[in-house]
Structure 1
Amino acid sequence: IEVQALSRAFGNTGTCALGSLKGNVGHLDAASGIAGLIKTTLALKNELLPPSLNYTHGNPDIDFTNSPFHVQAQPSPWPRTHDPPRRAGISAFGFGGTNAHLILEEAPLPEPSPTSPHPTETLIISARTPQALEQATDQLATHLRNEQPNLADAAHTLATGRRTFPHRRTVTGNTPDTIAASLESRDPANVLTAHTPANTPPLVYIFSGQGSQHTGMAHDLYQQEPTFRTTVDQCAELLTPHLGHDIRDIIFTPDNRLDQTQWAQPALFTIEYALTQLWHSWGITPTTMIGHSLGEWVAACLAGVFTLPDALHLVALRGRLMQAQPPGAMLNIMADRTTVEAALTDNLSLAAHNGPRDCVISGTHDAIHTFTTHAQENGWATQPVTTSHAFHSTLMQPMVDEFTTAVATTTLHTPHTPFISNITGTWITDHQATDPHYWGNHILSTVEYTTGIQTATTQPGTTLLEIGPGQTFSSLARRILTHTNTQATTLATLPHKRDRRTAPETIQRTLATLWLTGTTPNWTNYYNQQQRRRIPLPTYPFQHKHHWL
């Protein structure tokens, strides 16, 4: 009856294979239709027509000769053709004579995934229990080896298509096989694991100070990340009237002028501010901030004390006025603050207190030379700072009034995000932030970095993220935290200039580590520019348990 009905519907043209699932699973009653749908879907996917089980010859009452149908007795290829697409009909016949019929057509082949802009990919895994995390890790490693999926699509799927649980793991690599090998061996160089707290930990931005700049810093980010590039371009356009030159030429091309403070300060500000906008586009925002010297200007701008145009104007002026001051020198001394301050003469200043035994002094060349000899006699290790001027010393005094007047001509606002003062090492007050004299005194005062880091890490589990080129200031923070036995995580946005890792790889690993420690990125925005797609990956490894009632 069914074949006769199909013959009347289809006519006697072409050819069509018939199959049945009943020989495999028997009568399924209400489930027979969905079972047929699953079988047909798999046939389309695998490009194979499966046989009807145990079929030898047809019912003599069925006139196959005068119909377009034949029973599929053996498996046969069913490859894709460009035109027409493959189609299959599914019939579910009810006992009372009803017939539900569904027609499936093959889905069009997806467009090839675009090439990832990143040389490496970081995949994230999470689970409710340590045992499930280990099983999920093994499942993913096996899948990567067997299926060789597009890595960027796999990373996107895990980040945007899975719920997040407290037991977390990240892995970084450049091919499915290298990531699989790292997962199988739990290679600590590429695999990080953590149990994430329920509450999001405080996130502190550390803005780098002068001395960390180098030509070509973050150039690959400028090429690959539209948000970063747009912000750098915006800053460059705002700076050009004040500098008389395009700051991008000085940052991204070999140019010795980057060592001069009048160029270094606006260059650093531009890179650091653009990094904050990139982090913000990925859903990362600070709880509080601290900057080292110039870095405090980025913090103040981000907190809303200065508008971006005003901040850039004042930073350019600050660098130009400093450049015009008498030359000087700076020296790093590995000794405690009390000892160093006791040895300072009138023409020397403590420029920065960077750690328990890490002080920087400023002054004239002769005074620094004399102090170096004194330090050697006392067994204090010293290291000259590469600079042409004595920052944070009285040699900067002649520029303070002019700079303070310039600050007074701009509109200052109370900060909407707390940040730490270099002058006091504690939270800046609304009065200080909006007082032009504060920003004038900032040029002369000691950078209280040690006290500032201690202030920033009073809450357990704080994460410190350096914003700027290199990792100098996060390394200094780590030493301070080790000395005080404070538990905190220190991360860097960009690699050291001698690091083989690229800026995109470093920031990618840092983003994954932020997720690992409890900060929640906006993964959709992170992958938004890449046009990635979801792909099949292993599902959650439920830990089955038997319970008797």
Structure 2
Amino acid sequence: GHGGRANGLTAPRTTAQRAVMTGALERAGVEPGQIDFVEAHGTGTALGDPVEWEALAGVYGRGRPADAPCPVGSVKTGIGHLEAAAGIAGLIKAVLVVRHREVPPLLHLETPNRHLDWTGSGLTVPTTRRALPAEGTLRAGVSSFGFGGTNAHVIVESAPEPQAPADASETPDGTVHALALSAHTETALTTLAGLYRTHLAAHPDVPLAALCRSANTGRSPLPHRAVLTAGTRDELDAALDALIRREPAVDVARGEPAPGGAPTVAFLFGGQGTQYPGMGRDLYDAHPVFARTLRRADAVLRDLGEMPLLGLLFDPEHAEDLARTRYCQPALVALEVALADLWESCGVRPAAVLGHSVGALAAACVAGVLSLEDALTLAVVRGRAMDEQPGEGAMIACVGDPETVRDIAAGHEEVALAAVNGPRNLVLAGAADRVAALRADLERKGVTVRPLVVSHAFHSPLMAGAAEPLRKAARAVEFHAPRIPWISDATGEPVERVDAEYWVRHLLGTVRFAEGFARLRDRDTEGGLFCDAFVEIGPHPTLLNLGRAAVADAPAGDG
């Protein structure tokens, strides 16, 4: 458990163990205080136990109330050290703990190690059976440290409550499933389709969702491919029959992969104005991954004293609330992170991310820069603070020669460049009377102007009053280096590090979506990303349209 940097082969190091625990928490997107139990490596040695205890205290014990320390156990006290299998034994125990919501006592603890801090560590070793909360999500951490310095730590979460099984042959809510098949040859693809028909007939109890999920994510993609869509078993059987007979069918698509291999995918996260009542309802009902993230976000927002997310999204009585900045922004961040989780569960993972305005919080979360809890906290503070600013502003979208727009705007005080969405697509914001005068001047010069339906002049100096609340909240957040390239919509460049001041500049400054999108597509600059496939993460496809327009308006030779 030393990470390869200890004084000896078998000498553990606290810093290495702490680092692997922290890394596991970050990848899981949870905070140390959300862990209900830790299964330690716990070999019972004079050297190893104090080192591991100190590492656990530094990660899981910190900040715990004195009357609610984190319980720690080790299965080795009951079954001994299984050497190469020791880690899996600890994992099995942790799974049973969260499943049965109960921590068993540590066996044979008669003389506590005097080298362990038993009072100020924020940890405890149960010597009697201890019940965990009967409801809600439970999480456990599991450590396993190898003889040669290998450190491993995983986070286990209780499974969601099982839903009543749906009729395997029908999908009552009208959900359509996609079955992806592939093979080395056309003949093999036909044979595979026949095997699936046989499997369907022999296993009438297998839900379509499970069948399709297994095929779509558990098999290697091969050159000859087909995708079949169906809402019922009969429809899927008919589609498979059409594939076997090589007959044209609207629910069967055949193809081969494009030359050059898999595309490089970028996720684009939309901003305010794309929301609508009921967004995500069908996905929530049909996809457990999506629903789980939304429920987690709902719990976070409740803890923050905000309106319950699920009611805000799905209850028609809250349609007007969803249009308000203070509620819309956290709702969008939650929805977009859930959508990203859904795409990733289907095997579509981003090589880079780019957000637009508040969508940058969701992009940063998916890139690993901040946790979902912190992203929602900043969205709540940001949305509330912006909503409290004077609503005397206006925004206009301008399509035309950018230099003409900039030159005319420069002659109008209290008007700011709010967004550059494309080479010929700019958004201006400011005091309503100033924007009205500017609009008239622009239209006289042949610029197409469209007023935006907004409550405030976002990304302008009129938002200055929202800066300090956001700065204060962001200073309390722990930011991390991006796991994947995160392109800033404030600069158009990759973000290497971020702090509270970044989010203030992002709030008040220009959204440079066009520059960020160009950076994603860049194939000439050293280290260019050259993303060639884009997935919009949001309720309405606005950024894809902006991207298409940007490509169409780009000078020749720009890709």
Task: Give distance in 1, aligned partners of 2:507 and 2:395.
Answer: 15
Cα deviation, 1:39-63, whole Å, max 9, x if unaligned, reads: xxxxxxxxxxxxxxxxxxxxxxxxx
Residue 469 of structure 1 pairs with residue 539 of structure 2: yes
Of the three residues 194, 198, 219, the one matched with 2:281 is 219
Distance 1:203 1:461, change over 3 A: closer
Distance 1:477 1:186, change over 3 A: farther
Secondary structure of the corresponding residue to residue 455 of structure 1:
helix
Shift of 1:335: 1.5
What amino acid is aligned across from residue 549 of structure 2 in structure 1?
R
Q: TM-score, normalised by structure 2?
A: 0.59
Equivalent position of 1:409 in the other structure: 476
Secondary structure of the corresponding residue to residue 280 of structure 1:
helix
CA contact (8 A) 2:385 2:465 kept: no
Equivalent position of 1:253 in the other structure: 315
Task: Give distance in 1, aligned partners of 2:304 and 2:443.
Answer: 44
What amino acid is aligned across from residue 369 of structure 2 in structure 1?
V
Task: Give distance in 1, aligned partners of 2:518 and 2:505.
Answer: 22
Equivalent position of 1:388 in the other structure: 455
Moved more, 213-222 or 149-158: 149-158
Task: Give distance in 1, aligned partners of 2:336 and 2:451.
Answer: 25
Task: Give distance in 2, aligned partners of 1:157 and 1:307.
Answer: 29
Equivalent position of 1:423 in the other structure: 490
Of the three residues 528, 531, 550, the one matched with 1:480 is 550
Equivalent position of 2:427 in the other structure: 360
Residue 338 of structure 1 pairs with residue 420 of structure 2: no
CA contact (8 A) 2:189 2:224 kept: no
Shift of 1:326: 1.4
Q: Radius of gyration: which is bigger?
A: 1
How many equivalent pairs are there? Answer: 371
What amino acid is aligned across from residue 466 of structure 1 in structure 2?
E
Shift of 1:239: 1.2
Distance 1:240 1:172, change over 3 A: same
Cα deviation, 1:193-238, whole Å, max 9, x if unaligned, reads: 3423464332211111111011100011112222222211111121
Shift of 1:392: 0.5
Correspondence list, 1:141-180, <5 A: 152=208, 155=212, 159=216, 164-174=221-231, 175-176=235-236, 177=238
Q: TM-score, normalised by structure 1?
A: 0.60
CA contact (8 A) 2:239 2:249 kept: no
Correspondence list, 1:516-531, <5 A: none
Distance 1:398 1:157, change over 3 A: closer
CA contact (8 A) 1:138 1:184 kept: no
Shift of 1:418: 1.8
Residue 284 of structure 1 pairs with residue 348 of structure 2: yes
Shift of 1:473: 1.0
Cα deviation, 1:1-27, whole Å, max 9, x if unaligned, reads: xxxxxxxxxxxxxxxxxxxxxxxxxxx
Distance 1:333 1:225, change over 3 A: same
Of the three residues 293, 296, 301, the one matched with 1:239 is 301
Secondary structure of the corresponding residue to residue 332 of structure 1:
strand
Shift of 1:482: 3.6
Residue 121 of structure 1 pairs with residue 177 of structure 2: yes
Distance 1:244 1:136, change over 3 A: closer
What amino acid is aligned across from residue 335 of structure 2 in structure 1?
I
Task: Give distance in 2, aligned partners of 1:307 and 1:326.
Answer: 31
Structure 1, unmatched stretches of 5+, are 1-110, 489-549
CA contact (8 A) 1:461 1:487 kept: no
Shift of 1:173: 4.5
What amino acid is aligned across from residue 351 of structure 2 in structure 1?
T
Structure 2, unmatched stretches of 5+, are 1-165, 523-528
Q: What's the % identity of the aligned pairs? A: 31
CA contact (8 A) 1:142 1:180 kept: no
CA contact (8 A) 2:424 2:553 kept: no
CA RMSD of aligned residues (A): 3.4
Task: Give distance in 2, aligned partners of 1:236 and 1:336.
Answer: 44
Residue 376 of structure 1 pairs with residue 438 of structure 2: no
Moved more, 318-327 or 339-348: 339-348
CA contact (8 A) 1:420 1:428 kept: yes
Shift of 1:297: 0.8
